[in-house]
């Protein structure tokens, strides 16, 4: 592909508490592309959305942030947010993104950033992805979202990314589209990222790796549990999905993971509830409903038994 005549202008928009890793994974490949090509291919600015410059989850401050009302035009604006920003509201930012989108600017979101975009109608009719920890919450507030469990998704004028190190792959794809695969590979090699992952690559390690078993029936049942958090399946349904009998499934679970299928499923649901308590301003009743408990009282007692404290005491600031 022919080189662009002018630098591609990118505005990085960090939300207070953003993950520094995601930010660096966006910015550093662009800097490297400029250095390795000997040209200013990418002009990157950091956009300040509030009265004070945004700080990362570890308290790091990105210097030279440009205030929202003083920004110039961009070719791409990317919102970077972490789990603490699941309920983040900023009408001025939403209006700004909509305004520059109407002028032809591409809009992107990283980690929890796509949640803000979806909530404000900026991903309507677009395929998208988000960090796997936030996918259930996204579907609660935007049930029509076209969500894919990918590292990143580019759908016309929208770019979304799961966060972590995945923005490296997204930026390498951008560099390859603009300036060819050779430069993208050089940038990847510079960061020892020698194998550029495809957009549809998985966000998480396999079930077998995460749970330490290769038992096909157990893995099939666990996969069903993870996709039915809000409406948990009974033992008979799990056994049917796993292709075995309920009694045999119990034996296999006890042998491979040490607990029964129902206990294991409850553990998965409680873990999801624990994450929601720390990252979203949902009520106890809403979290109980989202994680498949029959009542807030049932949820509270189960949670207290598992975590040795009441759900109300588990509110935190987990940042993903």
d(C-alpha 276, C-alpha 290), whole Å: 9
Question: CB under 8 Å to 12, separation ≥6 — which residues?
Answer: 23, 26, 27, 44, 45, 46, 47, 78, 80
> What is the pairing mode between strands 158-161 and 152-155?
antiparallel
Q: Are 276 and 233 in contact (CB under 8 A)?
A: no
d(C-alpha 125, C-alpha 147), whole Å: 11
Q: Percent of the chain, pLDDT > 70?
A: 93
| Same domain (yes/no): 217, 181 | no
| Same domain (yes/no): 59, 104 | yes
| Same domain (yes/no): 180, 41 | yes
**pLDDT tens, residue by residue, 141-190:** 888 888 888 888 888 899 999 999 999 999 998 998 888 888 998 999 99
**pLDDT tens, residue by residue, 9-63:** 999 999 998 999 999 999 999 999 999 999 999 999 999 998 888 888 888 888 7
Is it the case that residue 2 has pLDDT exceeding 60? no
- Both structure tokens of 260: 């029964």
CATH number at residue 45: 3.40.50.880
Q: At 319, is the pLDDT very low, low, confident or very high (cuts 50, 70, 90)? A: very low
| Mean pLDDT, all residues of the chain | 87
Predicted TM-score of the model (pTM) = 0.70
- Both structure tokens of 320: 């993903």
Alpha helices by DSSP H, listed for 69-180, are 91-102, 113-119, 135-141, 166-179
Per-residue pLDDT at 3: 45
d(C-alpha 144, C-alpha 153), whole Å: 17
Per-residue pLDDT at 320: 44
> Residue 57 belongs to what domain range?
8-190
| Same domain (yes/no): 92, 214 | no
| Same domain (yes/no): 120, 19 | yes
| Same domain (yes/no): 45, 70 | yes
Dihedral, 87, 81, 130, 261 alpha carbons, nearest 10: -70
| Same domain (yes/no): 151, 267 | no
- Burial of 73 per CB tally in 10 Å (0-12, 13-18, 19+): exposed
| Same domain (yes/no): 81, 115 | yes
DSSP 55: B
Residue 201 lies in a domain: no
Distance in angstroms between the alpha carbons of the first and the last residue of the chain: 36
CATH number at residue 254: 1.10.10.60
Say how many domains are in the chain.
Answer: 2
| Same domain (yes/no): 245, 140 | no
Q: Are 53 and 290 in contact (CB under 8 A)?
A: no
- Both structure tokens of 50: 């509030």
Q: What is the secondary structure of 165-179 as a DSSP string?
A: THHHHHHHHHHHHHH
Is it the case that residue 317 has pLDDT exceeding 50? no
| Same domain (yes/no): 168, 302 | no
**pLDDT tens, residue by residue, 274-316:** 888 876 677 899 889 888 998 999 999 999 999 999 998 887 6
């Amino acid at each position: 592909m022919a080189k662009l005549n002018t630098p591609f202008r990118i505005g990085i928009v960090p939300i207070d508490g953003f993950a520094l890793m995601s930010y660096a994974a966006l910015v550093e490949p662009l800097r490297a592309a400029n250095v390795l090509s000997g040209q200013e291919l990418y002009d990157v600015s950091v956009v300040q959305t509030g009265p004070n410059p945004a700080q990362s989850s570890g308290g790091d401050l990105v210097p030279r942030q440009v205030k929202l009302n003083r920004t110039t035009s961009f070719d791409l604006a990317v919102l970077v947010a972490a789990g603490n920003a699941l309920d983040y509201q900023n009408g001025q930012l939403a209006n700004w993104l909509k305004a520059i989108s109407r002028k032809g600017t591409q809009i992107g979101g990283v980690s929890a950033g796509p949640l803000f975009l979806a909530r404000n109608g900026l991903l309507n009719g677009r395929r998208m992805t988000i960090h796997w920890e936030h996918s259930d919450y996204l579907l609660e507030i935007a049930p029509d979202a076209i969500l894919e469990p990918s590292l990143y998704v580019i759908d016309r004028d929208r770019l979304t990314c799961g966060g972590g190190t995945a923005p490296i792959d997204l930026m390498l794809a951008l560099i390859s589209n603009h300036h060819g695969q050779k430069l993208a590979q050089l940038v990847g090699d510079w960061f020892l990222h020698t194998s550029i992952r495809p957009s549809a690559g998985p966000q998480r390690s396999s079930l077998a790796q995460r749970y330490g078993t290769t038992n096909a029936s157990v893995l099939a049942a666990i996969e069903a549990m993870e996709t039915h958090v809000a409406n948990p399946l009974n033992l008979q349904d799990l056994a049917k999905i796993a292709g075995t009998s309920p009694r045999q499934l119990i034996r296999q679970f006890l042998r491979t993971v040490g607990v029964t299928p129902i206990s294991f499923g409850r553990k998965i649901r409680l873990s999801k509830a624990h994450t929601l308590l720390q990252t979203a301003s949902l009520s106890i009743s809403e979290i109980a409903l989202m994680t498949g408990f029959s009542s807030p009282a049932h949820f509270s007692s189960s949670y207290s038994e598992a975590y040795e404290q009441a759900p109300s005491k588990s509110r935190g600031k987990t940042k993903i």
